[in-house]
Amino acid sequence: VCQIASEPLNRPVSFFFFVRRIGQVTEIKSFMRKSVHKTSVWRHPHLVGYIEVGEIVQPIINRDDFVRTYGRTLLYEALLPVEAKLKTLLAAVNEERRENTFAQFEQTVQQALKAAASETSPFDVTFGEKKDEVRRVWWENGRLTINTSHPDFQARLRTSRLGNPRPSDRMNAYLAGVLSVYGTAELADVEERAAKQIDLMLTLEAELREMQKQ
């Protein structure tokens, strides 16, 4: 019996033999060798539940795996389609978590931009994905959208085991560089614009780094 929880519970699915716990699914080496998606499914923080094996298999003496039998083969073959179905369901959870993380990231960048400029932000910042878009950013509905599918963004993007974006110094430097260009674009004097751009870039990078610690 496996369920996908609405919040991460970090209670990995375990095998049980007549109500007695054998171990987490990811701890059973013989099954992990057969598993296709491995920890991305069975150690997902939103996946909870248990697998009662009954009489189809027997645990080994150490009770950390199952005896190699035809029953074990049948059990594992029966679990693989379930695993594939869980992978699809968890992909939707991962995408929702990813979108929520980017939404939080947007707020952080907006706050950092406002603090770095020492005044109201000259533009709104959002993250978007256009795989056929060669530009790093684009204007849309009065917002500066940062292209998350651009190779330069992807090269600096750190992610968790589940694919959620994570802040990093390289990403902070990239965002500071991009935003400083647009934050000073209206200045007519070239030398003044260059000086302001460098100042904004360094200040913005420092603000992002500081907010990353919070």
What is the structure's pLDDT at 187?
Answer: 67
What is the structure's pLDDT at 214?
Answer: 63
pTM assigned to the model: 0.68
**pLDDT-based confidence at residue 35 (cuts at 50, 70, 90):** very high
What is the structure's pLDDT at 119?
Answer: 54
* Residue 22, H or E segment: strand 20-24
User: For 124-179, how does the pLDDT look when each residue is reduced to its tens digit (9 = 90+)?
Assistant: 888 888 777 788 888 877 788 999 889 999 999 888 776 778 888 899 899 988 88
CA distance 32 to 18: 22
The total number of residues shown for the chain amounts to 214
